[in-house]
Amino acid sequence: MSEPLAYKLRVSRLRKTYGSVLALAGADLDLREGEFLTLLGPSGSGKTTLLMLVAGLIQPDSGEVWIDGRLATYAPAFKRDVGMVFQNYALFPHLTVYENIAFPLRMRRVPEATIRADVERVLEIVRLPDVAARLPRALSGGQAQRIALARCMVYRPSIILMDEPLGALDKKLRDQMQLEIKQLHVELGITVLYVTHDQEEAMIMSDRICVMNDAQIEQVGTPEELYFRPRTLFTAGFLGESNILTGEVAGVEGETVVVGAGGAKLRAPREPGLKDLGRVALMVRPERVAIQTTLAFASDKEAHNAVEGVLRDVILVGGVTKYYVTLDDGQNLVASTLTGDAKSLATPGSRVWLRWPVASTVVLSGGSRGP
């Protein structure tokens, strides 16, 4: 059985339970050729379950898995043409780097001359041409991860699956490996399905991100789409830092919705499907919020929202300074500015104004699930 080959991977209505525990609820997802797609979510959200179902390491209760246009729902793992990179590297400790990389080729009965050429090729790709004779214990964490990637790449699988592959590395090495894997993806055009709970890692490496929560897919989109235009409270709260204000819709003016929140009438671009009345949440990112001691922007009032409150705290976090403000209706907002640009605005206890563009305000349905 086959379908038109529009995607490298397509999962449809995929569901998995363990007894009474729902691990994945009817997931639908596509992966395009050459794409780097990340499954992002907290522990227990279903991301690793989805990856294991694609790999064929567990079987679904229902739904379908299509790989390269062929139905692979119940195909054994070794017939799916996928490669996998694990967090613990899974290198054979008694084999040299060369033999570790050669292993999947030997299992496929590839001629020795071809094995030698392919191993040398991938060692050059991962920039470790001189470690072929070493045992895994002689490698650093970053080197071992690159060798695990090389072993996965050497037989040219259709899709490379990565399950938290950088989780065991320290932050500096993790940051370096994020860029190296992303560079390899761009240079080689490989198709990657990646799992992480690290929001920053997902934003850096991904072409698209699939945000998961409570065994369901919350939203799929580019890092920019998810960051600036989240559709649910969970996505807004999980991906990056966000300010959330709740209030009642006071009216709709063309493509703009007016919401009573934060002790003021706030405006936002109207989202498709929004009802004219009801309780909603408004989101704005802290870096879009400016803080000032007076309301001195009457000339561009229509383009900006403004609320008043009391400055509770000012915290310097390296290159960013954060201002924590309690609004007149008791809700809280944070404004962020580059530390180098920070002025002596006010001291804790002072009354201040917060101001941000209407265009940077996102309306979220009050029924959306929060983090």
The residue with tokens 């907290």 is 42
pLDDT at 50: 97
Domain with CATH 3.40.50.300 in the chain: 9-233
Domain ranges in the chain with CATH number 2.40.50.100: 234-365
pTM of this structure: 0.86
Q: What's the confidence (pLDDT) of residue 222?
A: 96
Q: What is the mean pLDDT of the chain?
A: 88
d(CA 128, CA 146): 8
Cβ atoms 355, 290 nearer than 8 A = yes
Task: Give the closest residue to 28 by CA, choosing from 56, 5, 7.
Answer: 7
pLDDT, residue 298, reads: 46
pLDDT at 5: 55
Yes or no: domain 234-365 corresponds to CATH 2.60.40.1190? no
Q: Which CATH superfamily is domain 9-233 in?
A: P-loop containing nucleotide triphosphate hydrolases (3.40.50.300)
Percent of the chain with pLDDT over 70: 91
Residue 277: per-residue pLDDT: 61
Q: What angle do CA 363, 195, 101 make, to 5 degrees?
A: 155
